Amino acid sequence: MRSILTALQEGRLFELPEAGKDRALEFLARVLDANPDIVVGTDAVEEIKQREQQCNTGIGLGVGVPHVRTKREDGELFCAIGWSPQGIDYGAPDGEHVHLVFMYYIPGAQKNVYLKEISSLVKAIKATGGIEPIAHAGSLFIVRNLLLDWVSEVSGDSGPEAVARMIKLEAKQAQAPVAAVSGTPTTQLLVAPPSRAPARALTFKVLLAAPNPAVVLAQDGDWTAALEKEDSLPQRLAAGLPFAGAGRQVFVTVVTAYPGGRVLYEGVAIAAEK
């Protein structure tokens, strides 16, 4: 399950929009489009739609595994993961709603690796009690840790399993109580990792609280500043449709309304390939 672990490490776990199967698949396919190894000219959205028409990719157990295959031999198996707390009417053979969608880009040389990963995924789900804990998880943070448990379950005592344990340890340390200073009560903080090179797929949050300007939270400081300067940002977010913002394609996945007219938007912004 190396590609699942890599997806978790690189932030490719997303909460899916509450708009049905087609919108969920389109959203994740846009993340696949951001893979620098994808064959030039590949339309991941169209490829996923065509394959889904040919054969439903629900494997039961609350999981779907849509994928794009390519004749190109080189490249790594690439995965993007979507979580649906409400469940998606996926048309799966067992009739159950899907709560996790693992979408893959599969180079020719990685076909056997992909099949082995799906086999390991099924074993992990069954060994850890099924999809229910993830279906009822309260946040992406919890889902991430449960998925790391799946990786650990089937990976043995070394290799990816060791990395999974390291990630979980770092996450726990990031939430550890901060030492009190001058009698100040301790506070639990979730510290975001430092930003490195600008990511192709970037998660973000935008808080709107009129008449104050929009507040954008993301790991790319330049993009954050540029998006905050766009005058039409509130209107485009409210429309609920993908749009171009500060050089990225912006997809809103979660909208939460709060008292006082405050609205929090969450989603992913994908950079165009250079």
For the chain, give the secondary structure using H, E and C.
Answer: CHHHHHHHHCCCEEECCCCHHHHHHHHHHHHHHCCCCCCCCCCHHHHHHHHHHHCCCEEECCEECCEEECCCCCCCCEEEEEEEEEEECCCCCCCCCEEEEEEEEECHHHHHHHHHHHHHHHHHHHHCCCCHHHHCCCCHHHHHHHHHHHHHHHCCCCCHHHHHHHHHHHHHHHCCECCCCCCCCCCECCCCCCCCCCCCEEEEEEEECCCCCCEEEECCHHHHHHHHCCCCHHHHHHHCCCEEECCEEEEEEEEEEEHHHEEEEEEEEEECCC
pLDDT at 90: 94
pLDDT at 254: 79
pLDDT at 162: 55
pLDDT at 118: 94
Q: What tens digit of pLDDT does each residue of 182-198 get?
A: 343 333 333 334 333 44
pLDDT at 272: 61
Of 113, 103, 83, 71, the residue nearest 17 (C-alpha): 83
pLDDT at 43: 85
Give residues with Cβ within 8 angstroms of 223, minimum separation 6.
Answer: 198, 202, 246, 247, 248, 269
Of 192, 182, 92, the residue nearest 141 (C-alpha): 192
Q: Is the pTM for the entire model greater than 0.85?
A: no
pLDDT at 110: 93
Tell me: cis bond preceding 259? Omega within 30 of 0 counts: no
Q: Between the CA of residue 272 and those of 26, 64, 200, what are the distances in Å? A: 16, 27, 8
Q: How many CB atoms lie within 10 A of CB 144?
A: 19
Residue stretches of the chain with pLDDT short of 50: 157-158, 173, 176-199
Task: Determine whether 248 is exposed, middle or buried from the number of CB atoms within 10 Å of its CB (0-12, 13-18, 19+).
Answer: buried
How far is it, in rounded angstroms, from Cα 213 to Cα 32? 32
Residue identified by tokens 């672990």 is 5
State in Å, rounded, how far the first CA of the chain is from the last one. Answer: 30
CATH of 2-168, one of 3.90.550.10, 3.40.50.300, 3.30.1360.200, 3.40.930.10: 3.40.930.10
Q: Where are the domains of the chain?
A: 2-168, 201-271
Q: What tens digit of pLDDT does each residue of 91-108 get?
A: 988 889 999 999 999 998
- Angle of helix 140-154 relative to helix 160-174, nearest 10 degrees? 150
How far is it, in rounded angstroms, from Cα 17 to Cα 79? 18
